[in-house]
Structure 1
Amino acid sequence: MKIVVLGSGVIGVTSAYYLARAGHQVTVIDRQPGPALETSFANAGEISPGYSSPWAAPGIPQKAVKWLLMKNAPLILQPQLNLEVMQWLFGILRNCTSTRYAVNKSRMVRLSEYSHHCLKELRAETGISYDGREKGTLQLFRTQKQLDDISKDTEVLSQCGIPFEVLDVDGCARAEPALNEVKSKIKGGLRLPNDETGDCFKFTNKLADMAQALGVEFKFNTTIEAIEQTGNHIRSVVTNDGLITADNFVLALGSYSPILARSLGVKLPIYPIKGYSLTLSITDADQAPVSTLMDESYKIAITRLGDRVRVGGMAEVSGYNNRLPKNRCDTLMHSVSDLFPKSCNFEDAKYWSGLRPMTPDGTPIVGATPVKNLYLNTGHGTLGWTMACGSGQLLADIISGRAPAIQHDDLSVSRYS
């Protein structure tokens, strides 16, 4: 089949790669001059199946009020007050129950674990490298209450068979030796030893090269202007470079997916949650993180990527913008400099922001749509890098008519109907 993939972030490129490997003729369209130049460009670098959790959780509404009043807040609420935003926020609130949290987390962990398996297979088959490390994730708690509240997470991890360790202060310092310098600031941690790290931008570009070798055509600097339909069937994509036809179309435009889907009569409950990152050069390797550390108080990830440290996090509800306010940048700097004060050149920080496509239940949308030849691979929120390979393989199986390796019916857009 001839298939067009809309979007060349990590989700679009993995979709194209697995579709091409399944024998399809694939074309990728993107407005950028190359792969992974938007949300996939400078994310936190985590590949964290065990840490795959929905933002909507019991107690979050109460925590959100507290976060909004913090100086270094992990949540910033500046919504445009329209019906779409209010519906999305209401959807978040509806999912903040113990029952919904357990269902949503189990879906996310299922896809994330499968994706981890696919990534390992891909690495073994191709030798792809991307500043990767296989040294786990440490969720760090600065307060005793944070440590006491992890039972709902460990229960789901146990049910899913995911290894974890609940650590005291000394255990945290053994996992991340540089924390010996700041032990008085922490109370304990939850370690997920099977998690990995890696540079999503490097990975996506190398995989795009591999996809090209399989025959995938990338059309960069190409703007999607419209979609031509006949009844319940897409005929072509109208671009600034002309019409592009195909048998099937894959929507993988991240936060911009609902805009295009709306023109086709498909409603996607996805909102652009803005995240921030900074990248630092390591000056003392022994004082830098070994892998990924999640600073629970600020919802910030601190990740070792080769000779750099990537610091990413926060959730800002403010629409489609990439502004870099100083106070957001200061929050990232506070977290890393407070925990790893001797690790990096803090005077030469490179800041960035990106829009994560977030669904109300935290689970991405993968699969068919009411439009006969339109498929979705979008809505991965903060976990696009974690879920990319599994989502790409799953989508390729669905389109190819093969039986997927995991349950997938509850990942499609039909769950919202």
Structure 2
Amino acid sequence: MKVVVLGAGIIGVTSAYELAKAGHEVTVIDRQKGPALETSFANAGEISFGYCSPWAAPGIPLKAMKWLFMKHAPLILRPKLDTAMLSWMARMLTNCTADRYALNKSRMLQLSDYSRKALAAIRQETGIAYDERMRGTLQLFRTQQQLDASGKDAEALAADGIPFEMVDPDGCVRAEPALARVREKFVGGLLTPNDETGDCFKFTNALSAKCRELGVNFSFDTTVTGLHIEAGRARGVFLAGQERVDADAVIVALGSYSPLLLRPYGIDLPVYPVKGYSLTVPIVDPLRSPESTVMDETYKIAITRLGDRIRVGGMAEISGYNSTLAPARRLTLEHSVTDLFPGGNIGKATFWSGLRPMTPDGTPIIGATNIAGLFLNTGHGTLGWTMSSGSARLIASIVHGREPEIAAAEFGLNRYATLTSAHFNKNVRRRLSRGHKHRRCAPNSARDQRS
């Protein structure tokens, strides 16, 4: 079967790899000059198989209100007259309930655990290196209030059978020795030892080389202008200059830009860009640097060791398709990393932003559409790196027509079919009458800031 994959980020390249292994003839098309040059380029570097939660959760609207007024705010809202933004925020509000949160989290954990196994298989098959470490994540609490509130997280982890440890300041220092120099700045932490770290850009490029060995063709510097639909079936794509690439199946893995391609074909894809920022800081003294990932709960910032660099990532800015680098966001990242790991060469840090493709319920959209031969693998939000390998294996199974190893229907676009516009409007009116505002739905914890 000839398969065209649109997008050469972490989702598109892992999808191409799994499809090529299954014996398909695969072409990957991307507008950039190479793999992983947009959202996959400089994300936080954390691979959180054990701890992934939807942004939309009970109590989050009120918590988010406080974040909006912080000097170093983890949430930034730039409201505009954008129907896609308003629709996405309305749908997100409908998921800020206990029942929806539990359902969405269970889906995310299922895919995350599946992805953990799939990534381990890729490492074994390919032997590729990407500054990977398997030393866990330390969520660091600066206040007793944060530590006390973490009890709910601990209960959720225990219920899902995910290894974790609540640690006092001494335990934090044992996990991350460099924190001994700032021991007075935190009261404890939550350690999840099975989490991993790695450079998503390095991984994606290394895997793309393995894809080429399997016969995958990559077409870079190439703009897709539309889908070739004939007799109700996707037959390929049109490129700039009216060139056409024919295929038996098309997979859309364009991240935040997926809805823009699909809208003219009557597909309402509830994915919206949420911008994140990162700094990449060269390591001057390894003894003053993190060993793995430290999540600064106060500022919702992830500080991750990637080889001879430190990646500092976080924040959620809802401002549409906006890639500008705001100086104030850089100051927040610098404040967090220099406060916990002083002495680094922050002056030589590189500053970056990327658009995370978020769904209202936090779960990616993977599967078929109502157009035969057209498939989706998008909407992974902050967890694209974490869920990429499992998502690729799942979409390859669906395209290939074999029985998936996990419940595919849980991740399909059809899960939104029962939530009509009338349902959204009714729930939004009800929530607004109780004093809630759209802008208050936001990330749940520092762990939800991953790119």
**TM-score > 0.5 by shorter chain:** yes
Instruction: Report the Cα offset of residue 18 of structure 1.
Output: 0.3
Deviation of the 1:226 alpha carbon: 1.6
Conservation of the 8 A alpha-carbon contact between 2:142 and 2:297: yes
Give 1:272 shift.
0.3
Question: Is the CA contact 2:115–2:391 (under 8 Å) kept in the aligned structure 1?
Answer: yes
Structure 1 range deviating more: 167-176 or 277-286: 167-176
1 CA distance for matches of 2:144 and 2:372?
52
Match of 2:301 in 1: 300
- Note the 1:213-292 alignment, pairs <5 A: 213-240=213-240, 242-292=243-293
Q: 1:79 Cα deviation (Å)?
A: 2.6
The answer to whether the 8 A contact 1:105-1:156 is kept is: no
* Cα offset, 1:322, TM superposition: 1.0
Secondary structure of 1:321's match? coil
Matches within 5 A, 1:81-230: 81-230=81-230
**1:405 correspondence with 2:405:** yes
Structure 2: which amino acid aligns with 1:320?
Y
Q: CA deviation at 1:280?
A: 0.4
Map of 2:335 onto structure 1: 334
Shift of 1:73: 0.2
Deviations 1:88-129 (A, max 9, x none): 112222212222212111111111111111111111121110
Q: Which amino acid aligns with 1:319?
A: G
68-77 or 142-151, larger mean C-alpha shift = 142-151
Q: Which amino acid aligns with 2:121?
A: E
Which whole-Å CA distance do the structure 1 matches of 2:30 and 2:75 have between them?
30
**Per-residue deviation at 1:184?**
1.6
User: Is 1:378 equivalent to 2:378 in the alignment?
Assistant: yes
Q: Which moved more, 1:380-389 or 1:103-112?
A: 103-112
Q: Tell me the distance in 1 between the aligned counterparts of 2:110 and 2:137.
A: 18
Please list every run of 5 or more consecutive structure 2 residues that lacks an aligned counterpart in the other structure: 418-451
- The whole-number CA distance in structure 1 between the counterparts of 2:56 and 2:171 is 29
Tell me, in whole angstroms, the C-alpha distance in 2 between the residues paired with 1:288 and 1:134: 16
User: What is the CA–CA distance in structure 2 between the aligned matches of 1:105 and 1:150, rounded to whole Å?
Assistant: 17
Compared CA separation, residues 182 and 293, structure 1 to 2 (3 A):
same
Q: Distance in 1 between matches of 2:173 and 2:395?
A: 41
CA RMSD, 1 decimal: 1.1
The offset of 1:191, in angstroms, is 0.9
Paired with 1:178 and 1:113, the residues of 2 have a C-alpha distance of 30
The corresponding residue for 2:420 is: none
Q: Contact conserved, 2:51 with 2:157, CA < 8 A, in 1?
A: no
CA contact (8 A) 1:28 1:218 kept: yes
Contact 2:235 2:373 in 1 (8 A): no
Displacement of 1:240 in angstroms is 2.0
Deviation at 1:46, TM superposition (A): 0.6
The offset of 1:265, in angstroms, is 1.2
1-side partners of 2:262 and 2:149: how far apart?
39
Letter in structure 2 aligned against 1:408:
A
Q: Is the 8 A contact 1:106 1:156 kept in 2?
A: no
CA deviations on 1:280-322 (whole Å, 9 max, x unpaired) are 0111101100101111111111000001000001000001111
Deviation at 1:158, TM superposition (A): 2.1
What SS does the aligned partner of 1:79 have? coil
Paired amino acid for 1:42: A
C-alpha contact 1:102 1:156 (8 A) present in aligned 2: no
Q: Which residue of 2 aligns with 1:10?
A: 10
What amino acid is aligned across from residue 291 of structure 2 in structure 1? V
Distance 1:83 1:143 in 2: 39
List 4+ stretches of structure 1 deviating above 6 A.
none
| Per-residue CA distance 1:143-174 (angstroms, 9 max, x = gap) | 22222222333333223221111112211111
CA contact (8 A) 1:44 1:277 kept: yes
Q: Secondary structure at the match of 1:357?
A: strand
> Match of 2:346, SS?
coil
Q: Which residue of 2 aligns with 1:324?
A: 325
Please tell me the residue identity of whatever aligns with 1:377. N
Instruction: Give the letter for the 2:299 counterpart.
Output: Y
Q: Is residue 236–residue 249 contact of structure 2 (8 Å, CA) maintained in 1? A: no
What SS class does the counterpart of residue 43 from structure 2 fall into? coil
Task: Letter of the 2:336 partner, please give it.
Answer: S
Shift of residue 365, structure 1, vs aligned partner: 0.5
The letter for the 2-side match of 1:278 is L
- Distance in 2 (CA, whole Å) between partners of 1:150 and 1:406 is 30
Q: 1:49-78 CA deviation, whole Å, 9 max, x = no partner?
A: 122111112221111111110000000000
Whichever residue aligns with residue 44 of structure 1, its letter is A
In 2: Cα distance, 1:183 partner to 1:101 partner: 35
2:449 aligned partner? none
Structure 1 residue matching 2:347: 3-state secondary structure: coil
Q: Which residue of 2 aligns with 1:80?
A: 80
Residue 32 of structure 2 is aligned to residue 32 of structure 1: yes
Q: Distance in 2 between matches of 1:152 and 1:24?
A: 45
Distance 1:381 1:10 in 2: 12
